[in-house]
């Protein structure tokens, strides 16, 4: 995380994480600094790895924290992705890849995982329902 600390938006997200009980917050979107830094507290159904797609973002760094249990993420360098699925949706800052080969990373309850624009990630791999915090941190 040291490489991100030069980004003031990232520092604001870390300060928020350190000063709020995310697990007790209601589901919804919380603006920390307008569109520069915000967090979505959500509940999502997890899915089998075969249904998980890699995604990337250009404008935001994703900082994700599972709140109710562990979550598995597929992880691959964006530059190594070869099977782009459509164009970047600039309104939602998301583009998908259909690459099936990627590393798996298990992130435990309360642990933090960071995905920069150069990182492709496939979230929500697992079974059941998960509650999580997804911070969107503007790159600059």
Model confidence over 44-63: pLDDT tens digits?
999 999 999 999 999 999 99
Tell me how far apart the terminal alpha carbons of the chain are, to the nearest angstrom: 16
Q: What does pTM read for this prediction?
A: 0.94
Give residue 140's pLDDT: 76
At residue 136, the 3 state secondary structure works out as: strand
| CA–CA distances in Å: residue 123 to residues 29, 56, 100, 114 | 19, 11, 13, 12
pLDDT of residue 110: 97
Task: Give the model's pLDDT for residue 1.
Answer: 63
Task: Name residues of the chain where pLDDT drops below 50.
Answer: none
What pLDDT shows up at residue 122?
Answer: 98
């Amino acid at each position: 995380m040291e490489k991100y600390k030069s980004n003031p938006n990232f520092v604001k997200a870390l300060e928020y994480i350190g000063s709020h009980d995310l697990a007790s917050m209601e589901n919804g979107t919380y603006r920390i600094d307008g569109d520069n830094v915000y967090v979505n507290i959500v509940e999502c159904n997890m899915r089998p790895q075969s249904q998980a797609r890699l995604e990337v973002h250009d404008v935001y760094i994703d900082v994700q924290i599972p709140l109710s249990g562990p979550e598995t993420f597929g992880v691959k360098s964006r530059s190594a992705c070869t099977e782009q699925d459509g164009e970047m949706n600039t309104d939602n800052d998301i583009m998908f890849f259909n690459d099936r080969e990627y590393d798996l990373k298990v992130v435990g309850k309360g642990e933090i995982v960071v995905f920069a624009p150069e990182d492709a990630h496939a979230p929500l791999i697992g079974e059941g329902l998960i509650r999580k915090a997804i911070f969107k941190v503007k790159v600059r």
